[in-house]
Chain A
């Protein structure tokens, strides 16, 4: 009991201090460590202290922001270098160290890339020809998704699945000189998996497909033209990532028609691959200085003609979805006798900061 009372007394003292002056901030922070609201059992006192602390925190934050702004302003006036901006710590930039991340000066990597299954397509010795098919049963969103995929990927051909085995389809594709097979798997009338098979001996990647938004559900969507699209692959850093990147790259022709201004993006973030399809346009826009800056500037640069600035505008067209790699198999589709290059196993998920792509 005695101890508790003393604590309360302390809190009273502290309150007076915090209210009176800001210069004893350090002292209060020290006290905070000693006395936390959770140590007080009386609810009224506790909530009182909590409110005080919260208020104090807010004031501190405001003061900090103010001082930072002042520093920037002073630096601008004096023409000095701006104080360094702090980079927030995110999961990506505190990623676990990974030795498999590709280094740009690694000759073995290039030798390996030249020897892999996609090099003939990526060196334009072979034009990609894609076979798209589905699982046995599909309906509603499945066919709609496939028709949009056909408009995204040039030289893609849809074949009805029928009752053929996938291995038979792979054989057929080998004979007909296809370079890849895409299988859209549908579950409960919703596409939920994507299988990309390299033909004749390329790897087989199995992706989970989620967050599918079709073209008609995107506001202000555009309709894509039949030009060959440009391809953007972001953040495929590791060995496995570069392999997946090359697999995706081999689906598209390597000579984009820039006239079409179509761009297909595969953006990898935390092992999720985001697919977007855009049309872009460069516009010359008159930038009004007056609005963007203060009146002082306007007076200074009133003699300047209104500046021309090119900006890129994007219009989204085509589907939008997210992929997550489940497995990468060596060779073509073979679930029974296949060898995996990479399989996702639950024991790998022991850290939030470990990424494989």
Chain B
């Protein structure tokens, strides 16, 4: 027999993730089973086009009226509903930033969950940042997908850096501060409310050989949700650095990880573990208090990791990258839960944690009960047939059993079909409800 070793994936609890790829497609991956679900692509939004390559994404993850913002390569920002993918607003940057060009793409995007000012709830506020360091705060009106939405007020624009390229942009949990960093740009933190720079990092001193490594920050993340003082940054020279604003301008702690640049960073909700992914597909978790590596994530990852996301509730992280797999990992055991092949280079991944599975889940459970009933009926029927068959020879028994099996499978199919239709119905209902809310507001 051919000896094969397949990676055993134990499956994952019900969850919903959105993957954004290089052709501008958004793929919805869902695991629906209660116990050990295998995630599958359920929906695909958008048409493949290389100019629509996703550069940055941001999402408001809340129960009512969640929103998703996507920045594309042609400098368009789309605001979508993460439930059904309807475009609620498109903002083309041509009017806002005349400086936009091929090399000046949007790299950072943040959608504010809290309302900044006394605006109507049909508005959303966005922070964008381009490669050249043009940051802007703007708000857009949510409308139906057909109409082009316009800015309510002119965007507040400022420049974050004088030279170099911005590569990472993050907003802290309280949404008061934003950090920017990149190639040749030291990390600087801005107060968003009054647009002032409050802090600027300083590069570490030359090493013992007198060699100075040029600054190049590739990723950064705030460590805790409610504090903006501590953050972690990954550099091109494969270092993970911990900064503390209140302590000093140089890194408090600096750890080396493998030999390729750090490409993705994510902080755990416990406030001290950090997940690190690099350019050759290695992933590990660090305890950033001590700088010790807790362990590596091994799962035949062969392409650069572009994004790591921690699920807000479940102990799961998702990673994606240039090997076009979306992988889900357990944070405790660091085992691969499952991997989904998504065909394109994936740029970003997000969890939709507030997605209501009850609407979807209740129906399959009904289906299960139906099948169970059928099963029980069959069980009741079985003995009498057995008696008959025992009189006859064995072949007949086989035939009857086969028939039963086929019947059973048919019934299953039927029940599945029902599920599907009902799911769609439930979805529609939800959509209606959101619309109603809008109207009310």
Contact = CB atoms under 8 A, between A and B. Distances in A.
Contact of B302 (A94, A345, A350, A351): A345
B433 interface: no
A109 interface: yes
A337 B216 contact: yes
Contacts of A115: 22-23, 48-50
Contact of A348 (B23, B302, B303): B302
B304 A339 contact: yes
B303 A239 contact: no
Nearest to B299: A347
A349 to B, nearest CB: 10
B322 A338 contact: no
Contacts of A59: none
A269 interface: no
Contacts of B323: 341-342
Contacts of A112: 23, 48, 343-344
B300 A108 contact: no
A94 B260 contact: no
Question: Which 8 residue pairs are nearest across A and B when measured between Cβ atoms?
Answer: A115-B50, A111-B48, A339-B304, A94-B2, A339-B279, A341-B322, A99-B341, A340-B280
- Which of B298, B302, B344, B345: most chain A CB closer than 10 A? B302
A310 interface: no
Interface residues of B, number: 32
B133 interface: no
A338 B260 contact: yes
A343 B280 contact: yes
Interface stretch (B3-11, B110-118, B225-233, B383-391): B3-11
Interface string A315-354: 0000000000000001000001111111111011011111
A276 B322 CA distance: 31
B236 interface: yes
Contacts of A187: none
Contact of A330 (B237, B300, B304, B343): B304
B23 A340 contact: no
Given A239-B324, A339-B279, A342-B323, A109 B343 contact: yes
19 contacts: A96-B4, A108-B25, A108-B48, A108-B344, A109-B343, A239-B324, A239-B343, A330-B322, A337-B236, A338-B279, A339-B304, A339-B322, A340-B279, A340-B280, A340-B281, A341-B303, A345-B300, A348-B300, A353-B3
B2 A343 contact: no
Nearest to B340: A99
Interface string B155-197: 0000000000000000000000000000000000000000000
A347 to B, nearest CB: 6
A272 B6 CA distance: 22
B153 to A, nearest CB: 37
Q: Chain A contact residues (Cβ within 8 angstroms of B): what range?
A: 20 to 34
Contacts of A239: 324, 343
B241 interface: no
Interface in B7-39: 22-23, 25
A345 B299 CA distance: 11
B344 A340 contact: no
A106 to B, nearest CB: 8
B343 A108 contact: yes
A353 B6 CA distance: 11
A276 to B, nearest CB: 29
Interface of chain B, helix or strand or loop or mixed?
Answer: loop
A185 B323 CA distance: 27
B261 A337 contact: yes
Contacts of B263: 339
A340 B260 contact: yes
Given A109-B343, A339-B304, A339-B322, A347 B48 contact: no
Given A338-B279, A339-B304, A343-B281, 8 more contacts: A108-B48, A111-B49, A330-B345, A339-B260, A339-B261, A340-B303, A345-B300, A354-B4
A353 B4 CA distance: 7
Contact of A340 (B48, B236, B304): B304
Contact of A111 (B5, B23, B300, B303): B23
Contact of B304 (A89, A336, A341, A345): A341
A103 to B, nearest CB: 10
A109 B3 CA distance: 31
Nearest to A100: B341
A285 to B, nearest CB: 42
A347 B300 contact: yes
A161 B22 CA distance: 35
Contacts of B237: 336
Contacts of B50: 114-115
A328 to B, nearest CB: 9
Contact of A336 (B4, B236, B322): B236
A345 B302 CA distance: 7
A73 to B, nearest CB: 34
A353 B1 CA distance: 12
Nearest to B216: A337
Interface in B276-312: 279-281, 298, 300, 302-304
- Which of A109, A340, A347: most chain B CB closer than 10 A? A340
Contacts of B344: 108, 112
Given A339-B322, A341-B304, A341-B323, A347 B280 contact: no
B322 A340 contact: yes
Contacts of A108: 23, 25, 48, 343-344
Given A108-B344, A338-B279, A96 B6 contact: yes
B264 to A, nearest CB: 11
Contact of B4 (A111, A114, A340, A351): A351
B18 to A, nearest CB: 17
Nearest to A95: B2
Interface string B197-219: 00000000000000000001000
A245 to B, nearest CB: 17
A353 B302 contact: no
A295 B237 CA distance: 79
Contacts of A345: 281, 300, 302
A351 B322 CA distance: 23
A243 to B, nearest CB: 11
Contacts of A352: 3
B24 to A, nearest CB: 10
A353 B216 contact: no
A205 B70 CA distance: 32
Nearest to A345: B302
Contacts of A100: 324, 341
B260 to A, nearest CB: 7
B198 to A, nearest CB: 30
Contacts of A347: 298, 300
Nearest to B343: A108
Contacts of B6: 96
Nearest to B305: A339
